[in-house]
């Protein structure tokens, strides 16, 4: 009898809406960008136009929401940076492709850029999610290793070099955002600064 009642309830349950799930994720991006990883789920639900209980229908915990959001943004970044990665091109051109792809993505999505930065230092994002994010960017890691090998930074860890690139890319994004008419010049100059830093 209990099993029958349970199956009946499951059969009668309303199917989840992809639009509603996307609205919750979009709201989380905006709220985390504004308030950081301490953003309350009530605020996210309010911004999404749903009850807080509805949010937990789609994401059982705040941690689940944040981890899924982290991986979705990472997937989008991967698409922007590596979907058309020219694997047979010269090293510098491959590095330029990744740098310019990241800058273009960040300029288009400033709230997502702020959110991934917040989630990147949040204890709510699990080691498993971080590892999955790293696996997505294995080609980027290989490119950094190849770039570092013959350059002035060859004795330094990959993460240090990646942080230099991120800092120069972030600076480039800020200037492109202020003066979009000079986007190409700022992007080219930002990349050259990065390239010169790691190869000379």
Count of Cβ atoms closer than 10 Å to residue 108 Cβ: 11
pLDDT of residue 5: 44
- What domains lie within the chain, and their CATH numbers? 13-60 (1.10.10.60), 71-200 (1.10.357.10)
Q: What separation in angstroms does the CA of 132 have from each of 62, 74, 199? A: 19, 9, 29
Q: What is the pLDDT of residue 197?
A: 85
d(CA 56, CA 64): 10
Question: What is the C-alpha separation between 35 and 170, in angstroms, rounded?
Answer: 20
The share of the chain scoring above pLDDT 70, in percent, equals: 92
The band of 82, judged by pLDDT with boundaries at 50, 70 and 90, is very high
């Amino acid at each position: 009898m209990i099993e029958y009642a349970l199956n009946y309830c499951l059969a009668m349950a309303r199917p989840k809406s992809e639009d509603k799930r996307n609205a919750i994720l979009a709201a989380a991006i905006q709220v985390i960008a504004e308030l950081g990883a301490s953003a309350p789920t009530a605020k996210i639900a309010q911004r999404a136009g749903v009850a807080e209980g509805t949010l937990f229908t789609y994401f059982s915990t705040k941690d689940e929401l944040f981890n899924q959001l982290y991986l979705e943004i990472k997937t989008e970044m991967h698409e922007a940076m590596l979907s058309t990665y020219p694997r047979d091109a010269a090293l510098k051109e491959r590095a330029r492709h990744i740098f310019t792809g990241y800058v273009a993505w960040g300029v288009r999505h400033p709230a997502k850029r702020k959110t991934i930065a917040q989630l990147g230092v949040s204890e709510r994002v699990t080691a498993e999610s971080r590892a999955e994010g790293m696996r997505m960017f294995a080609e980027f890691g290989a490119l950094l290793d190849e770039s570092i090998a013959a350059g002035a930074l060859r004795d330094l860890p990959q993460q240090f070099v990646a942080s230099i690139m991120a800092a120069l890319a972030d600076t480039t994004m800020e200037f492109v955002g202020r003066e979009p008419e000079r986007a190409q010049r700022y992007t080219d100059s930002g990349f050259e600064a990065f390239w010169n830093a790691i190869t000379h």
